[in-house]
Amino acid sequence: MKNQKNIFIATVLVLAFALAPILQAARPDGGPVYLSTSSRVNESSEAGAPDSNDPDNVQLPVITIHCTADVRRGKTGSFVLNMNPALGFGGAFVNFSVKGTAIPGVDYLPLVAPAYIGPSGYGVILVQALPDPRASASRQAYSIVVTLEAGAGYAIGAPKSATMWIKP
C-alpha cells in the first residue's frame, strides 16, 4: 500500500512540473504571472509608456470572420473565424448573432452560439442548407449574416460580420 502511495505522489509531481511551462505559455503576452504588481516598479518601461503588466493594458486576441463561399440548397457552407494571435494552449469561445433573409429551420439548420476557436487560431461555423420547401418557381437566394459579438478574453476586429447566400 505504501508503494502505491509513493507512485501516486511521484506521478502527480511529474504532471505538475510537466504542465507548469505550458500553463504559463497560455498568457497572451507570454510573460510570467505576478500576484501583486502594486509594489513592483517596471524598470523596462520608459516614461509615459504603458506598463505591460498593468491589467488595463493587456493585449487581447482579435477575432475576425469571413465566409468561404455561397452555398447551394442541400449542401454545407462555412464561416471561418480567425483569432490573432492564437492562444496556443486551449482555445476560445466566441459569441455571435445570426440575421438575414434566410429562416432557421426552413432554409438552414439553426446555428448555435458560441463558436469554438481552437489552439491553431481558427474556428468554423458550419451552415447546413436545407432543400427548398417553397414552390420551385420562387428560385430566390436567401442571406445568412453572422456578426461577432463582444465577450470576455477577446476583441472583435474587422470584418466583424460576414454574409453567405443560400442559392437554389
- Does domain 62-167 fall into CATH 3.40.50.10470? no
Task: Kindly state the DSSP code that residue 88 receives in the 8-state scheme.
Answer: S
Q: What value does the mean pLDDT take over residues 121-125?
A: 96
Provide the pLDDT for residue 32: 43
pLDDT at 116 over 80: yes
* Longest CA–CA separation in the chain, Å: 79
Judge whether 71 and 142 are in contact, CB under 8 Å.
Answer: no
Provide the pLDDT for residue 9: 62
**Dist. CA 162–CA 149, nearest whole Å:** 13
**Dist. CA 136–CA 148, nearest whole Å:** 34
pLDDT tens digits, 62-103 = 999 999 999 999 999 999 999 999 887 788 999 999 999 999
Provide the pLDDT for residue 28: 44
Written as one string, the DSSP assignment of 2-62 is: HHHHHHHHHHHHHHHHHHHHHHHHTSTT-----S--SS---TTSPTTPPPTT-GGG--PPE
Provide the pLDDT for residue 155: 94
What residue has cell string 506521478? 11
**Dist. CA 165–CA 50, nearest whole Å:** 44
Judge whether 20 and 33 are in contact, CB under 8 Å.
Answer: no
The domain spans of the chain are 2-57, 62-167
The strand pair at 62-67 and 155-156 is best described as parallel
Q: What value does the mean pLDDT take over residues 147-165?
A: 95
Provide the pLDDT for residue 134: 75
Cell for 116?
469554438
Q: What is the mean pLDDT of the chain?
A: 77
Instruction: Kindly report the pTM of this predicted structure.
Output: 0.65
pLDDT tens digits, 19-55 = 444 444 444 444 444 333 333 344 444 444 444 455 5
Provide the pLDDT for residue 56: 60
